[in-house]
């Protein structure tokens, strides 16, 4: 088990057919709602439409006893937030810049496909420190739109990770949400990586 959230559990596994390491992201509930199923299908389709070296690849969407699991590539990585917490010293500019370039390139590829991630943060970017591979993960709340008009919601009902949300994503700014919201979240992530 790598992560257990409100809706999903994420596991590291080995695919029996070819001994390939994979990551399984499965719905936590044995009886998921139609909305949860729709989001999993959408996430799989969005990831499947990409061929970016800096965005996680999806291999399959499997149905398991009325629930679903997405089989994703395993880069042997760790979330950047966890990796930074384990380090004894902060990142140098020389270490930060190559990571930042790869993250920005992944985001560029998402935006080129009109995908707004809506949850860029240190938990949704994985790095393999040994190989230098960096991948953006978790497109669970992503949308494939040029813009979106968020509705005003209570803070506990907002989609995304609150400390990284752009003001317009909260629905309190009377502004439409577009790809620039990801830049706001990326800036907050870079700030955390550097400090």
Spell out where 65-112 has E strands.
67-73, 78-79
Give the CA dihedral 99, 102, 104, 105, nearest 10 degrees.
170
Q: State how far the Cα of 149 lies from the Cα of 9, in Å rounded to an integer.
A: 29
Closest CA to 103 of 126, 82, 74, 123: 126
179-to-2, 71, 111, 154, 168 alpha-carbon distances in Å:
29, 27, 7, 23, 11
How far apart are the C-alpha atoms of 73 and 57, rounded to whole Å? 6
From the centroid of its chain, how far is CA 151? 22
Among 38, 41, 6, 10, which residue's Cα sits nearest to residue 23?
A: 10
Known catalytic membership, residue 18: no
Alpha-carbon span 145 to 78, nearest angstrom: 29
Out of 119, 146, 178, 182, the active site residue is 119
Token pair, residue 120, equals 């860029």
Point out the residues that are catalytic. Answer: 119
């Amino acid at each position: 088990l790598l992560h257990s959230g409100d809706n999903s559990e994420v596991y590291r596994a080995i695919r029996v057919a070819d001994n390939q390491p994979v990551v399984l992201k499965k719905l936590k509930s044995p009886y998921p709602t139609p909305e949860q199923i729709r989001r999993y299908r959408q996430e799989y389709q969005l990831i499947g439409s990409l061929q970016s070296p800096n965005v996680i690849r999806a291999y399959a969407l499997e149905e398991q006893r009325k629930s679903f699991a997405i089989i994703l590539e395993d880069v042997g990585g760790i979330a950047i937030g966890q990796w930074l917490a384990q380090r004894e010293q902060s990142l140098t500019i020389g270490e930060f810049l190559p990571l930042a370039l790869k993250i920005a390139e992944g985001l560029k590829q998402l935006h080129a496909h009109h995908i707004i991630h809506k949850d860029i943060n240190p938990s949704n970017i994985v790095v393999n420190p040994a190989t230098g591979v960096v991948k953006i993960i978790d497109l669970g709340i992503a949308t494939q739109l040029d813009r979106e008009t968020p509705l005003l919601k209570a803070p506990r009902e907002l989609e995304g990770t609150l400390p990284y949300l752009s003001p317009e994503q909260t629905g309190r700014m009377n502004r439409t949400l577009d790809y620039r919201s990801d830049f706001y979240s990326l800036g907050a992530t870079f700030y955390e990586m550097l400090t």
